[in-house]
Structure 1
Amino acid sequence: MTWVICSILLFLLSLIAGGIALFKKRKSLGICSFIGLLLSGVLMGSSAFRDFFQLDECLDLGGRYNYEANVCENG
Protein backbone atom coordinates (compact mmCIF):
# COMPACT_ATOMS: atom_id res chain seq x y z
CA MET A 1 0.00 0.00 0.00
CA THR A 2 2.84 2.38 0.74
CA TRP A 3 4.22 1.80 -2.79
CA VAL A 4 0.95 3.01 -4.22
CA ILE A 5 0.98 6.17 -2.12
CA CYS A 6 4.62 6.87 -3.02
CA SER A 7 3.93 6.33 -6.70
CA ILE A 8 0.93 8.67 -6.61
CA LEU A 9 3.03 11.36 -4.92
CA LEU A 10 5.80 10.84 -7.48
CA PHE A 11 3.22 11.12 -10.26
CA LEU A 12 1.87 14.40 -8.89
CA LEU A 13 5.33 15.88 -8.37
CA SER A 14 6.32 14.85 -11.88
CA LEU A 15 3.24 16.55 -13.31
CA ILE A 16 4.06 19.74 -11.42
CA ALA A 17 7.69 19.62 -12.58
CA GLY A 18 6.53 18.99 -16.15
CA GLY A 19 4.28 22.04 -15.98
CA ILE A 20 7.12 24.18 -14.69
CA ALA A 21 9.41 22.82 -17.41
CA LEU A 22 6.90 23.74 -20.10
CA PHE A 23 6.29 27.17 -18.63
CA LYS A 24 9.98 28.05 -18.19
CA LYS A 25 11.17 26.05 -21.22
CA ARG A 26 13.70 23.97 -19.29
CA LYS A 27 14.47 20.81 -21.20
CA SER A 28 16.38 19.03 -18.39
CA LEU A 29 13.48 19.47 -15.96
CA GLY A 30 11.10 18.16 -18.61
CA ILE A 31 13.21 15.04 -19.05
CA CYS A 32 13.32 14.48 -15.28
CA SER A 33 9.55 14.87 -15.02
CA PHE A 34 9.05 12.38 -17.88
CA ILE A 35 11.29 9.85 -16.12
CA GLY A 36 9.33 10.42 -12.91
CA LEU A 37 6.06 9.78 -14.72
CA LEU A 38 7.43 6.54 -16.18
CA LEU A 39 8.75 5.42 -12.81
CA SER A 40 5.45 6.15 -11.06
CA GLY A 41 3.62 4.10 -13.69
CA VAL A 42 5.99 1.18 -13.15
CA LEU A 43 5.52 1.36 -9.38
CA MET A 44 1.74 1.42 -9.63
CA GLY A 45 1.73 -1.40 -12.16
CA SER A 46 4.10 -3.61 -10.19
CA SER A 47 1.93 -3.27 -7.09
CA ALA A 48 -1.17 -4.34 -8.98
CA PHE A 49 0.59 -7.24 -10.71
CA ARG A 50 2.14 -8.47 -7.45
CA ASP A 51 -1.31 -8.79 -5.90
CA PHE A 52 -2.64 -10.53 -9.00
CA PHE A 53 0.17 -13.09 -9.11
CA GLN A 54 -0.15 -13.80 -5.38
CA LEU A 55 -3.85 -14.53 -5.87
CA ASP A 56 -3.23 -16.57 -9.02
CA GLU A 57 -0.58 -18.73 -7.34
CA CYS A 58 -2.91 -19.44 -4.43
CA LEU A 59 -5.71 -20.57 -6.72
CA ASP A 60 -3.32 -22.64 -8.85
CA LEU A 61 -2.24 -24.54 -5.71
CA GLY A 62 -5.87 -25.39 -4.95
CA GLY A 63 -6.32 -22.93 -2.11
CA ARG A 64 -8.77 -20.13 -1.63
CA TYR A 65 -7.75 -16.53 -1.20
CA ASN A 66 -8.96 -14.52 1.78
CA TYR A 67 -9.33 -11.00 0.40
CA GLU A 68 -9.83 -9.38 3.80
CA ALA A 69 -6.62 -10.79 5.30
CA ASN A 70 -4.72 -10.98 1.98
CA VAL A 71 -3.61 -14.55 2.67
CA CYS A 72 -3.95 -17.90 0.95
CA GLU A 73 -5.91 -20.50 2.88
CA ASN A 74 -5.46 -24.27 2.43
CA GLY A 75 -2.90 -23.80 -0.28
Structure 2
Amino acid sequence: MDSPTRYGVGGTVAVCDGVEHRWQNTGNVLEGAVKPDAVQVEATIMELRSRPGLPLPYFHALHNEEVALKG
Protein backbone atom coordinates (compact mmCIF):
# COMPACT_ATOMS: atom_id res chain seq x y z
CA MET A 1 0.00 0.00 0.00
CA ASP A 2 3.04 2.28 0.16
CA SER A 3 3.66 2.26 -3.60
CA PRO A 4 3.99 5.70 -5.20
CA THR A 5 2.42 4.34 -8.41
CA ARG A 6 -0.95 5.88 -9.27
CA TYR A 7 -3.33 5.21 -12.16
CA GLY A 8 -6.11 7.53 -13.30
CA VAL A 9 -9.22 5.98 -14.80
CA GLY A 10 -10.70 9.19 -16.13
CA GLY A 11 -13.59 11.27 -15.00
CA THR A 12 -17.21 11.88 -15.77
CA VAL A 13 -19.44 14.92 -15.85
CA ALA A 14 -21.96 15.21 -13.02
CA VAL A 15 -24.86 17.65 -12.82
CA CYS A 16 -26.18 18.48 -9.34
CA ASP A 17 -29.94 17.96 -9.10
CA GLY A 18 -30.15 17.88 -5.28
CA VAL A 19 -30.78 14.12 -5.16
CA GLU A 20 -28.26 11.49 -4.00
CA HIS A 21 -27.25 9.07 -6.76
CA ARG A 22 -25.07 5.95 -6.92
CA TRP A 23 -21.95 6.56 -8.96
CA GLN A 24 -19.35 4.24 -10.42
CA ASN A 25 -16.51 4.56 -12.87
CA THR A 26 -14.38 2.05 -14.74
CA GLY A 27 -11.12 2.27 -16.58
CA ASN A 28 -8.16 0.33 -17.88
CA VAL A 29 -4.46 0.28 -17.10
CA LEU A 30 -1.70 -1.54 -18.96
CA GLU A 31 -2.05 -5.31 -18.85
CA GLY A 32 0.03 -6.72 -16.02
CA ALA A 33 0.47 -3.30 -14.36
CA VAL A 34 -1.73 -4.26 -11.40
CA LYS A 35 -2.58 -7.59 -9.79
CA PRO A 36 -5.42 -8.73 -7.53
CA ASP A 37 -4.68 -7.24 -4.12
CA ALA A 38 -5.78 -4.55 -1.68
CA VAL A 39 -5.44 -1.08 -3.20
CA GLN A 40 -6.25 2.46 -2.16
CA VAL A 41 -8.77 4.33 -4.33
CA GLU A 42 -9.59 8.02 -4.33
CA ALA A 43 -12.65 9.89 -5.61
CA THR A 44 -12.77 13.67 -5.90
CA ILE A 45 -15.67 15.96 -6.73
CA MET A 46 -14.36 19.18 -8.23
CA GLU A 47 -15.73 22.00 -10.33
CA LEU A 48 -13.95 24.60 -12.41
CA ARG A 49 -15.12 28.05 -11.34
CA SER A 50 -14.91 30.90 -13.81
CA ARG A 51 -12.61 33.72 -12.78
CA PRO A 52 -10.94 36.41 -14.81
CA GLY A 53 -8.26 34.48 -16.70
CA LEU A 54 -8.13 30.69 -16.28
CA PRO A 55 -10.88 28.75 -14.47
CA LEU A 56 -9.76 27.66 -11.00
CA PRO A 57 -10.57 24.29 -9.35
CA TYR A 58 -12.93 24.24 -6.37
CA PHE A 59 -12.96 20.96 -4.44
CA HIS A 60 -16.31 19.84 -2.98
CA ALA A 61 -15.36 16.39 -1.66
CA LEU A 62 -12.48 13.93 -1.47
CA HIS A 63 -12.82 10.32 -0.34
CA ASN A 64 -10.15 7.61 0.05
CA GLU A 65 -10.96 3.96 0.66
CA GLU A 66 -9.17 0.62 0.57
CA VAL A 67 -10.74 -1.89 -1.82
CA ALA A 68 -9.82 -5.35 -3.11
CA LEU A 69 -9.08 -5.85 -6.79
CA LYS A 70 -10.29 -9.22 -8.04
CA GLY A 71 -8.63 -11.13 -10.86
TM-based fold match above 0.5: no
Max radius of gyration: which structure?
1
Q: What TM-score, normalized to structure 2?
A: 0.18
Higher relative contact order (CA 8 A, sep 6+): 2
TM-score, normalization: structure 1?
Answer: 0.17
